[in-house]
Structure formats: structure tokens, C-alpha cells
Amino acid sequence: MDINESVTSGGTLGVPNPGGKSNGTPGAQLLSAGTLTGEKVVNTVNDDLGKIEEIMLDVSSGRIAYAVLSFGTILGMGGKLFAIPWQALTLDTRNECFILDVDKERLEKAPGFNSDHWPSMSDPKWAASIHTYYDRRPYWE
């Protein structure tokens, strides 16, 4: 399922807009970033992988670069943050979550950071390594 299929399938995250008629809402293909932050992330076997903390925009290209995923936190404490390439996530509006096709063990070993020490996300070498880890083509190519 790709993001376009899941967003248009309905649910409260995607605003249903049958037939593309204007209904006074932005439509299923246009969502506020605030709507997506805090959403749960699961893998394909429904393991809880955490939640979306931030959505990082590449201002120069006008594209979403990463979702910042928190994993392993208890009551908002501890845990690790991960920059997940936006293309690695699928929005599941029926179940109101994102799907990341990665094993929990692989995520635990992924390059991450803590809330006090963010990486330089605009560094091309760092960015390429993150995309490679999640087997995604960099969005700027």
C-alpha cells in the first residue's frame, strides 16, 4: 500500500473527499503536520515502534525530509530518537498510524540520537547514510 492509497482510504487522519468534490476541508491529500505528530508507528507485524515527534521539512525544496520517531520512551523519558526518511513511512488512515517496514531489532540498532544532541540533518553524508540504512533512495536525487 502506498501513501496515496492509504491517505485516500478514509479515517480521521485523512479527510475523506469522495469524487474530489470540495467539502470545505483541505482534502485527503493535504494534511497539517500537526495532525501527524504524535501518531503511533508500527511495523508490518504490528509491533509498536514509537510515535512521530517531529516532521522535518527541507525548506529549500519544499519537501518533507524526515519524520523524527521516538522509540523506547517511558512516560516521555529516556528512549532514543530516529530520523526516518519520509518515503519509508506509509500512512494507514484506517488504523490511525504510520507503518514502517522494519523489524523492531533493526530499529533498535539504527543510528539515532537523543533530544539534547541532534545530528546535523542537512549534512549530505549523514543524510545519505540514513537513507541507505532504511534502503530508501534519497529524496533529493
What pLDDT score was predicted for residue 71? 87
Choose among 95, 91, 134, 100: nearest CA to 4: 91
pLDDT tens for each residue of 9-43: 333 444 344 444 445 555 556 778 888 889 999 99
pLDDT tens for each residue of 50-102: 999 999 999 999 999 999 999 876 555 567 999 999 999 999 988 989 999 99
What pLDDT score was predicted for residue 102? 96
DSSP-assigned states of every residue in the chain = --HHHHHTT-SSSS---GGG---SS--TT---HHHHTT-EEE-TT--EEEEEEEEEEETTTTEEEEEEEEES-BTTBS-EEEEEEGGGEEEETTTTEEEE-S-HHHHHHS--BBTTB---TT-HHHHHHHHHHTT---TT-
User: 527541507: which residue's cell?
Assistant: 58
What pLDDT score was predicted for residue 77? 58
